[in-house]
Amino acid sequence: MDARTYIAEHRGEFVAELREWLAIPSVSADPAHHGDVRRSAEWLARHLAAVGFAIVEIWETDGMPAVFAEWPAADPDAPTVVVYGHHDVQPADPAESWQTDPFDPVERGDRLIGRGASDDKGQVLFHSLGVRAGLAASGAAAPPVTLKLLVEGEEESGSPNFAGLLERYRDRLACDIVVISDTTMWAADTPSMCVGMRGMTDCRIDLYGPEVDLHSGSFGGAVPNPARAMADLLSDMHDAGGRVAVPGFYDDVAEISTEERELLAKLPFDEAEWLRTASSTATAGETGYSTLERIWVRPTAEINGMWSGHTGAGTKTIVPRSAHAKVSFRLVPDQEPLRIQERVRDYVEAALPEGVRADVRFSGPGVRACASDITSPAVRAARSAMGRAFGTEVLFTREGGSGPEADIADILDAPLVFVAVGLDDDRIHAPNEKVEIPLLLKGAESAAHLWEELAAALRC
Amino acid sequence: MDARTYIAEHRGEFVAELREWLAIPSVSADPAHHGDVRRSAEWLARHLAAVGFAIVEIWETDGMPAVFAEWPAADPDAPTVVVYGHHDVQPADPAESWQTDPFDPVERGDRLIGRGASDDKGQVLFHSLGVRAGLAASGAAAPPVTLKLLVEGEEESGSPNFAGLLERYRDRLACDIVVISDTTMWAADTPSMCVGMRGMTDCRIDLYGPEVDLHSGSFGGAVPNPARAMADLLSDMHDAGGRVAVPGFYDDVAEISTEERELLAKLPFDEAEWLRTASSTATAGETGYSTLERIWVRPTAEINGMWSGHTGAGTKTIVPRSAHAKVSFRLVPDQEPLRIQERVRDYVEAALPEGVRADVRFSGPGVRACASDITSPAVRAARSAMGRAFGTEVLFTREGGSGPEADIADILDAPLVFVAVGLDDDRIHAPNEKVEIPLLLKGAESAAHLWEELAAALRC
């Protein structure tokens, strides 16, 4: 029986299992639901054991538990894969905005409505259906790769204990590749793989001039004004072409490949619709790059906030003593956040006029960008698996935002592949979250092919 | 008897009169003292009538009363002078910072300590001693000019009813020259006349981009950021030489004359001391001008405040929807505030990137700069009168700040001359206000000569 047939025959059972799991309100951010998060982990552990995973463990943390499951390949030389997902969910408030009970999932046509349907229980569960479908198709007793699932319970609370968990179980999690199933595709009729996320580092810049606010009549025009120094500094941070003018900022930027650029251009991007979403009347940005390239593959410097002097009602004619700004930098491969921080410090120092001093404080070490090499065997294998499932060309996307994914790749020392079937309109983190059941089944079919494709690709 | 001898012989009487007047706590800003402001007006009216002014009237306003006194010249063709001063005083708080009772004036050596001693009762009263000294010296029964005193009672409360008073009594106040006795000299050993004050107009600039704050990961780098547009706009408002880069800003600026520039350069200006006062470690400003020129005779654009986006604790990676700034412009002759407002509006409009719109609101019509022509007969006469009293060259200063003086000149259609003997360290508006009695006597002697010099000068 081929994988698609197996999956079609098990649709009812799959949806019933998912509904059962979704009915457990595993809201990690709400202490009142911490018992439910544990019940959710226990449900998943029982489920995976029943499916046939040889090892199933609940891994405790200082917070909510994760679930680990392993199904060793028959061949000891087969590659090892870690699949990452999470079993906790966002809070459901505002409750009154839900048209159905968020924790009593409802099927409406091809949709399943309930908290966690897309983010991320539905996407975790398609892996259990997928591995069974793969075995049904191959007739084997074990998958062609050693499959390890790691499903954490605190993702919606910022994963405070996750890096520690990875460090602690580094040996148990040893792998050749990490598959992330917690993102979206371009559209239901445009299957795609995310192949990168931007990194980020952000700082607060404080400029200090005269020690007190000065009367702008008595002193204005003859002393340095830190607000003006800040305006100069922030203005000069970009050149006329919209590039970040911090010296050395682009030194380590990996240019997007021609192949990826061509594939990005194939995405059916509607700029007018995008502008409506942005509630903006115009695009802006770095010359020579499209809107999608600007948000996905190019680094930025963005003023998130600034303040100085008199901000209240009425007139106060002062030369303010200080000026402040919050600036964040989205990073792309291979920019190192700590190196960028040094560049920014140097830039600020060099920009200071006489009589103005600066304090630059970064909020932390920053987050590195991550990207999958689209020519790598793993990405090719995953693209091929999804292509077989969807029956059409799989395109590439990236994410402009930043997440902890680079840390997973780092700690486990393995490249990332994103295989996911959520949609941007799934209303994750919002009321009335839903998932498209046919896409979850395509996800399962992709997973069924994925281990076979990966085993072949990584053995070469 | 010459004026100096007369004044020396009447020192005790003068100080006694001033102490009596200073004992009336005429704090116009405090309703509890409004009765005292009226008592102060009545004291002054009685005093001026006793001195010999032919007409003495208390002029009511919607607030506190002013005192008007007139002493006509014998010669009906003699010029007419209005002397402006005020009889209300600043509040005395914080009371605990006074070493003596602010309303029980104390003589300490050559100083008289009490609220209003310098600002402005002492400076009003030297005119009554001056006119008597002038008459004693000339033997005449009336001064050589028609002398009108206008002493308002709300100056320390922002003169809310003063323009109306001037309009109402425009005919009674008709004059050839206005003498202002409410400012300071450079130093006790450097007598000087103020010959100009900067004007001012100020605005709030609001820039609006996308309709909502946007996620800087999802949108950053591809939409216009109004905070960056504001930084650009504020930064480009000055050129590299520190000149205001608003097109047309300098069109009507009257350059300082070589003569005035040379006289300003004669002032014993200690830049290191000035920097200590400014609590700044460096000067800044327009290339080609000295610090005094920058604050006195050159116009400025000054950022008084700005704000945008996230200004609280922590990180919030947004593209803010709006950015705001408060900017004031100090003006010099012959810049018209309303014309400058148009220039600034045009500048902002031209500076907007696509997708950002602006709202520019000025707080009011602005205040014009005022300046006395240092080659005019009136300034020459006043300089000569002060020179005779002080026995040394009288230099020129200006004020960087802005006041309603231009309005007086405007409404009365007469040029201004500043004759005053306060010092910057008189602690006006602060605890322990004092005045140097010898300087008040020099002020009286200057006034004694002034009417004679002015009568001669204005008749030519």
pLDDT of residue B402: 81
Rounded Cα–Cα distance for residues A128 and A166 (Å): 22
- Please write the tens of the pLDDT for every residue from A218-246: 899 999 999 999 999 999 999 999 999 99
In terms of Cα–Cα distance, which of B20, B4, B34, B9 is closest to B117? B20
- Interface subset of B 6-65, CB within 8 angstroms of A: none
pLDDT of residue A402: 81
Q: Which two tokens stand for residue A443?
A: 């996800």
Cβ contacts of B299 on chain A, cutoff 8 Å:
221
User: Residue A210: what residue type?
Assistant: P
Q: What's the average model confidence in pLDDT over B42-51?
A: 98
Measured from the Cβ of residue A112, the count of other Cβ atoms closer than 10 Å reads 22
- The answer to whether A236 and B235 are in contact (CB under 8 A) is yes
pLDDT of residue A405: 80
Q: Is the dihedral of CA A231, A234, A236, A238 positive or negative?
A: negative
CA distance B201 to chain A (A): 10
- The answer to whether B82 and B412 are in contact (CB under 8 A) is yes
- Interface subset of B 339-368, CB within 8 angstroms of A: 353-355, 363
pLDDT of residue A139: 96
Asked, as a colleague might, if the bond just before B104 is cis with ω within 30 of 0, I would say no
Q: What's the average model confidence in pLDDT over B164-189?
A: 95
Cβ contacts of B297 on chain A, cutoff 8 Å:
none
Q: Which two tokens stand for residue A250?
A: 């682009």
- Please write the tens of the pLDDT for every residue from A64-101: 999 999 999 999 999 999 999 999 999 998 889 999 99
pLDDT of residue B355: 97
Mean pLDDT (chain A) is 95
* Higher per-residue confidence, A25 vs B218: A25
pLDDT of residue A202: 96
Whether the predicted pLDDT of B365 surpasses 70: yes
Rounded Cα–Cα distance for residues A451 and A181 (Å): 14
A355 contacts B280? CB cut-off 8 A: yes
**pTM of the full structure:** 0.89
- Interface subset of A 198-237, CB within 8 angstroms of B: 198, 200, 202, 209-212, 214-225, 227-228, 230-232, 234-236
pLDDT of residue A226: 98
Whether the predicted pLDDT of B219 surpasses 90: yes
Give yes or no for A281 touching B (CB within 8 A).
Answer: yes
pLDDT of residue B429: 87
CA distance A152 to chain B (A): 24
Q: Interface pTM (ipTM) of the complex?
A: 0.89
Rounded Cα–Cα distance for residues A21 and A3 (Å): 24
Whether the predicted pLDDT of A302 surpasses 90: yes
DSSP character for A360? E
Whether the predicted pLDDT of A180 surpasses 70: yes
Whether the predicted pLDDT of B419 surpasses 80: yes
pLDDT of residue A460: 58
Q: Which pLDDT band holds residue B18 (cuts at 50, 70, 90)?
A: very high
Rounded Cα–Cα distance for residues B433 and A189 (Å): 82
- Please write the tens of the pLDDT for every residue from A29-57: 999 999 999 999 999 999 999 999 999 99
Taking one residue from A and the other from B, the number of pairs with CB-CB distance under 8 angstroms is: 276
- Please write the tens of the pLDDT for every residue from A359-396: 999 999 999 999 999 999 999 999 999 999 999 999 99
Q: Which pLDDT band holds residue B158 (cuts at 50, 70, 90)?
A: confident
Whether the predicted pLDDT of A403 surpasses 80: no
Measured from the Cβ of residue A13, the count of other Cβ atoms closer than 10 Å reads 10
Give yes or no for B172 touching A (CB within 8 A).
Answer: no
Give yes or no for B87 touching A (CB within 8 A).
Answer: no
**pLDDT above 90 coverage of chain B, percent:** 91
CATH number of the domain at A199-253+299-362, please? 3.30.70.360
A307 contacts B306? CB cut-off 8 A: yes
Q: Which two tokens stand for residue B152?
A: 């308002």
CA distance A128 to chain B (A): 31
Burial of A414 (0-12, 13-18, 19+ CB in 10 A): buried
- Please write the tens of the pLDDT for every residue from B261-274: 999 999 999 999 99
- Please write the tens of the pLDDT for every residue from B366-392: 999 999 999 999 999 999 999 999 999
Whether the predicted pLDDT of B403 surpasses 90: no
- The answer to whether A197 and A401 are in contact (CB under 8 A) is yes
B363 contacts A295? CB cut-off 8 A: no
Q: What's the average model confidence in pLDDT over B180-203?
A: 95
Rounded Cα–Cα distance for residues B305 and B313 (Å): 19
Q: What's the average model confidence in pLDDT over A273-288?
A: 96
Q: What's the average model confidence in pLDDT over A249-260?
A: 96
Give the dihedral of Cα atoms B436, B442, B444, B446; nearest 10 deg: -140
Return the CATH architecture of domain A3-197+369-459: 3-Layer(aba) Sandwich (3.40)
Whether the predicted pLDDT of A406 surpasses 90: no
Q: Which two tokens stand for residue B403?
A: 């006041």
pLDDT of residue A69: 98
**A contact test, residue of B206, B239, B307 with most A CBs within 10 A:** B307
B279 contacts A218? CB cut-off 8 A: no
Q: Return the residue of A nearest to B357 by Cα.
A: A281
A231 contacts B303? CB cut-off 8 A: yes
SS3 A424: helix
Rounded Cα–Cα distance for residues B219 and A291 (Å): 9
**pLDDT above 70 coverage of chain A, percent:** 100
Q: Which pLDDT band holds residue B460 (cuts at 50, 70, 90)?
A: low
Query: What residue segments make up the domains of chain A, in order of their start?
Result: 3-197+369-459, 199-253+299-362
Cβ contacts of A310 on chain B, cutoff 8 Å:
304-305, 326
pLDDT of residue B23: 98
- Please write the tens of the pLDDT for every residue from A121-166: 999 999 999 999 999 999 999 999 999 999 999 998 888 999 999 9
* Three-state SS letters, B388-438: HHHCCCCEEEEECCCCCHHHHHHHHCCCEEECCCECCCCCCCCCCCEEEHH
CA distance B365 to chain A (A): 13
pLDDT of residue B74: 93
Cβ contacts of A363 on chain B, cutoff 8 Å:
314-315
DSSP character for B184? B
- The answer to whether B224 and A280 are in contact (CB under 8 A) is yes
